[in-house]
């Protein structure tokens, strides 16, 4: 009986099993909701900015004093709105990042030991209770198995590969989203130029089409610029991951706990300032990315077995 209990405890002493505890799943729902609120605000901000750009083009073409005055009022209102939106978005992103940090630190510290305080500031119990209270009784099945199965690896290796999975997942989403934005722009350009030649092929029509394309180009450029900036942070973190993995593979007797803590700090910082991938795009890519991550995890575990790195 004691042997069975010990075996059960050993099996549960891994991130893959512990991540599906009820409260942690509720925390996952809470952090997703916080990010979704930030994304909705960011979407509204983008719509308002794009609408203003289009309205400005129309005003410049019509040359109407009344519309010009309205455009000026729109511009002032947009500045105030954007300033409020930026604060709102930043607040929710930071809160979501802190909740995800609590989840990660709870899992990681339980596997490799030590106090959770080593991993930086975490949300307090009151904040967590308040944030998760609206998700009591809500179906959490969609949040299960957040991390792929590295359970047969040593503790520090489990933590590292889960951290790297976060970085790799985000990087893949960012690359795909940039491709989507550039694809939309290409389709819009081709469609408008084709319509010009079909309907009324002249120089004036070309100038008008280019003026209407300007807001779309400017919007997509700003989005791609943000995504690329976020991607550059992910590349820096990935380079840091390479150094940790080299150390992890080189000598299993050398602890990399401090490096893992440093890596987690970097991941949290990126979560707080990184570009927000829209929920619809995340859901569209989720199954493919998860399948790929599970395949990567399986390969890493198999290679570790072959190299005798498991304990």
CA 79 to chain centre: 27
Q: Which two tokens stand for residue 120?
A: 């930086």
Contact between 87 and 64 under an 8 Å Cβ cutoff? The reply is no
Tokens 């893949």 locate to 172
CB atoms within 10 A of CB 15: 23
The closest alpha carbon to 251, from 151, 159, 157, 167, belongs to: 157
Q: What is the pLDDT of residue 308?
A: 61
* Sign of the dihedral defined by the CA atoms of residues 108, 113, 116, 118, in that order: negative
Q: Is the pTM of this model over 0.85?
A: no
Three-class DSSP labels, 109-123: HHHHCCCHHHHCCCC
Q: What's the CA gap between 232 and 228, in Å, rounded?
A: 6
Task: State pLDDT tens for residues 104-131.
Answer: 999 999 999 888 888 988 999 999 999 9
The closest alpha carbon to 215, from 14, 49, 102, 85, belongs to: 49
Whether 10 has a pLDDT exceeding 60, the answer reads no
Q: What's the CA gap between 98 and 101, in Å, rounded?
A: 5
Task: State pLDDT tens for residues 279-302.
Answer: 999 989 888 888 999 999 999 999
Percent of the chain exceeding pLDDT 70 equals: 82
Q: What is the pLDDT of residue 203?
A: 62
Q: What is the pLDDT of residue 5?
A: 37
Q: Which two tokens stand for residue 45?
A: 């901000």
Task: State pLDDT tens for residues 199-256.
Answer: 566 666 566 666 666 666 777 777 788 888 888 899 999 999 999 998 887 655 678 8
Angle, alpha carbons 274-17-114 (nearest 5°): 70
Contact between 97 and 271 under an 8 Å Cβ cutoff? The reply is yes
Q: What is the pLDDT of residue 164?
A: 95
Higher pLDDT, 108 or 47: 108
């Amino acid at each position: 009986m004691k042997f069975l209990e010990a075996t059960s405890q050993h099996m549960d002493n891994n991130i893959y099993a512990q991540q599906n505890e009820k409260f942690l799943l509720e925390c996952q729902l809470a952090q997703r909701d916080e990010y979704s609120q930030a994304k909705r605000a960011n979407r509204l901000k983008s719509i308002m900015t794009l609408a203003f750009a289009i309205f400005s083009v129309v005003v410049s073409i019509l040359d109407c004093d009344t519309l010009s005055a309205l455009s000026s009022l729109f511009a002032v209102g947009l500045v105030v709105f954007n300033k409020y939106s930026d604060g709102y978005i930043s607040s929710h992103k930071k809160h979501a990042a802190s909740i995800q940090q609590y989840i990660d630190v709870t899992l990681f510290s339980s596997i490799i030991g030590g106090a959770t305080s080593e991993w930086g500031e975490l949300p307090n119990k009151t904040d967590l209770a308040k944030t998760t209270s609206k998700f009591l009784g809500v179906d959490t099945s969609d949040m299960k198995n957040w991390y792929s199965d590295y359970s047969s690896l040593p503790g520090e290796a489990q933590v590292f590969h889960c951290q790297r999975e976060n970085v790799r997942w985000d990087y893949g989403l960012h690359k795909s989203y940039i491709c989507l934005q550039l694809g939309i722009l290409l389709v819009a350009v081709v469609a408008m130029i084709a319509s010009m030649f079909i309907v009324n092929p002249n120089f004036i029509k070309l100038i008008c089409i280019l003026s209407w394309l300007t807001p779309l180009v400017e919007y997509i450029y700003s989005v791609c610029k943000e995504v690329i900036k976020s991607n550059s942070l992910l590349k820096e973190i990935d380079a840091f991951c390479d150094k940790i993995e080299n150390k992890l593979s080189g000598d299993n007797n050398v602890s990399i706990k401090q490096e893992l803590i440093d890596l987690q700090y970097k991941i949290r910082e990126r979560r707080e300032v990184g570009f927000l991938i829209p929920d619809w795009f995340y859901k569209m890519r989720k199954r493919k990315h998860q399948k790929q991550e599970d395949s990567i995890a399986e390969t890493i575990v198999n290679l570790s077995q072959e190299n005798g790195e498991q304990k």
